[in-house]
Amino acid sequence: MKALVTGGTGFVGSHLVERLSKQGYEVMVLTRKPELSQFFKKNNIHMYSGDLRNKSSLLDIPGHLDYVFHLAATRDSSGKTECYDTNVEGTKNLLEVLCEKRIKLKKFIHVSSLGAAGFGRNGKPKREEDALNPCSFYGETKMQAEKEVIKKKKNIPFVILRPCKIYGPGDKKILLHFKFVKYGIVPDLGLKTRFMSLCYVGDFIEAMILASKSSVTDEIYFVSDNKIYSWEQFYSTIAAVLHKKLRTIYIPQAIMSCFLPLLWIISRLPQPFVSIEPTTVSEIQSRDWTCDPSKYFREFRYNPRVGIEDGLKNTAQWFVENNFI
């Protein structure tokens, strides 16, 4: 089986590439900087130089592929122009090249985001039938990218996955929360309990592979571990993993909101120790950063293997081994 992975050098993508390679797939990775992927070269993974924003750079994609896993995306911190050009125009360019080359895919797995759908409301997790209400410009571009995929359904069988927060070893975006706990500055935004959905990276990789192998096409699914966590539970688990006493600092929401402009500036600076996005505070503020994955569980008999305790323990171990905490 031949599989092309976009975003294969990123956090989730690198885990996917490794898993596919171990399962005997012939894996090809599309990347703007193939020279940075020494690990892949050592493991006989084919690297293709290409930029989703430049359609002509995609013409060297092989003419025969069984699967495409489209994970490449750019976040808000890169600026609206690059975010739109990569997430929307990039997806459109990739799909057009696949069609023009008349590649007969078994499945196109498009990794979208809970952000494309928006927050849950009134304690109810987001479901597939709910109206879309993207929570950021990034979310808007992911929603538009989904529409580009759907336009090609006559030629390209697809499954769109909307994961919640994916975490695990290698996830620098979650590092900020570990540092909160380590230095005793965990934010408490008031009396209302706030909730989130999570999915361990290894389990999400399994979810993608299950979707690719199934006979299901032209469907959209939310993916999580099917549990809802409070932020207090999330931080308490990190504290237990780090053997720290959990301490919280009350920060009124009005004051927290004032940090958003500063957070945007920080997000544009080089981040050698903490990867941060300007949407981070919005996610913390949201009462229901949650989704309902029951449709996916029902149709794919999905069974996540890693719970929050082991997942955050594995993540912490990776941070320690790589000198992040």
8 A C-beta contact, residue 81 and residue 139: no
**Helix, strand counts (H, E) of the chain:** 13, 13
With cut-offs at 50, 70 and 90, classify the pLDDT of residue 177: confident
Structure tokens at 200: 């361990």
Structure tokens at 10: 């990123």
- Give how far Cα 10 sits from Cα of 71, 133, 183, 224, 316, Å: 9, 26, 28, 20, 19
- Give how far Cα 92 sits from Cα of 142, 147, 155, 186, 200, Å: 12, 10, 13, 41, 29
Structure tokens at 193: 């309990």
- What is the residue-wise DSSP string for 154-169? TTS-EEEEEE-EEEST
Give CATH for domain 2-167+198-227+290-305: 3.40.50.720
Residue of 163, 173, 69, 74 lying closest to 116 (CA atoms): 163
Q: Which has the minimum average pLDDT: 11-25, 107-121, 175-189? A: 175-189
pLDDT surpasses 50 at 114 = yes
8 A C-beta contact, residue 119 and residue 139: no
Structure tokens at 176: 């900020």
CA angle (63 as vertex; 43, 40 as ends), nearest 5:
15
**Would you state the pLDDT for residue 189?**
59
Q: Torsions phi, psi of 151, nearest 5?
A: -60, -25
**Would you state the pLDDT for residue 184?**
78
Q: Which has the minimum average pLDDT: 150-164, 166-180, 299-313? A: 166-180
**Would you state the pLDDT for residue 267?**
47
107, β-bridge pairs:
67
CA atoms within 13 A on the CB side of 169: 14
For the chain, the average pLDDT equals: 87
pLDDT surpasses 80 at 198 = yes
Taking the alpha carbons at both ends of the chain, their separation in whole angstroms is 40
Neighbour-count burial of 129, counting CB atoms closer than 10 A to its CB (0-12 exposed, 13-18 middle, 19+ buried): exposed
Residue of 89, 132, 78, 84 lying closest to 279 (CA atoms): 78
Q: Which residue has the tokens 């989130």?
A: 196
Q: Which residue has the higher pLDDT, 248 or 112?
A: 112
**Structure confidence by residue, pLDDT tens digits, 237-272:** 999 999 998 877 776 666 666 655 555 555 455 554
Q: Rounded to an integer, what distance in angstroms lies between the CA atom of residue 136 and that of residue 80?
A: 11
pTM of the full structure? 0.90
Structure tokens at 81: 């122009």
* CA dihedral (109, 115, 118, 119) positive or negative: positive
8 A C-beta contact, residue 139 and residue 118: yes
pLDDT surpasses 60 at 47 = yes
Q: Rounded to an integer, what distance in angstroms lies between the CA atom of residue 170 and that of residue 90?
A: 25
Q: Which residue has the higher pLDDT, 102 or 38?
A: 102
Residue of 276, 281, 254, 286 lying closest to 118 (CA atoms): 286
pLDDT surpasses 60 at 282 = no
Q: Rounded to an integer, what distance in angstroms lies between the CA atom of residue 322 and that of residue 325?
A: 8
